[in-house]
Amino acid sequence: MSTLPLPHPVLASLEGAIEFIFTPQSSNVTGGKKVGGIDQVVELTLNQIELSLLALLLSLLVALPIGLYLGHRGIGELFATAIANAGRAVPELALIAFMATAIGVGVLNLTIALAVLGVPPILANTFVGINQVDRASVEAARGIGMTEFEILRKVEIPLAIPTIFTGIRGASIAIVATATIAPLAGVLTLGDFIINQNVYGDSGVLAGAIMVSLLALVFEFSLAGVQHLLTSKGLKLRSA
């Protein structure tokens, strides 16, 4: 057990991992076929992106309408809190395993499983965001004759964007993280490198970990960018 931080072995592992990402290596398991290399890395990355985006989309489709409705009407606060906590408490490994056993493996089934994890944060945060919009603004808007729907669209949503996006980003983190262990249910993503150390070796595992982290960060920054675009100037000025 090394007690020195960052000695040469760490840099060596890093080097090995980077090599793994770019050039095919011979596998620990003999048989001639090489593993790793940029082609395989790109393929698995694209798989993971596809799976995550599908799941995120599904979560948005389900959670946004419900959250917007409940938040606007101001009912179901306990429900929103409970859902948020429940979503956090579900262990992703158990969820995937259960889905695989109950409804089977494959992209479609996995998307549903991932959406189960993505809905709670989006739902809860959308509810809170809309619900906590200053009542005075809402009343004013009602006063000048806006329809309920217009109030939602022009007043509440713009003001709630930061909170809603906190939820979407939270969902994205959970979804990308769980998509990493999708290989356990037969969908090949970057997690394959991490889970199957037999085949890919230690450099493969580290390479997988690095790629997954980068992917998660890319998702996070992209969503942050979208949020920035959608946030009205006024809000941006006073954001913390």
Looking at the Cβ atoms of 94 and 144, the one nearer to another protein is: 94
Spatial CA neighbour of 209 closest among 197, 220, 223: 197
C-alpha 65/C-alpha 32 separation (Å) is 53
Spatial CA neighbour of 61 closest among 107, 128, 115: 115
Looking at the Cβ atoms of 84 and 155, the one nearer to another protein is: 84
Looking at the Cβ atoms of 55 and 141, the one nearer to another protein is: 55
Three-state secondary structure along 29-91? CCCCCEEEHHHHHHHHHHHHHHHHHHHHHHHHHHHHHHHHHHHHHCCCHHHHHHHHHHHHHCC
CB of 185 to another protein, least distance (A): 8
Spatial CA neighbour of 47 closest among 168, 227, 223, 211: 211
Looking at the Cβ atoms of 118 and 208, the one nearer to another protein is: 208
CA Rg value for the chain: 22
CB of 5 to another protein, least distance (A): 7
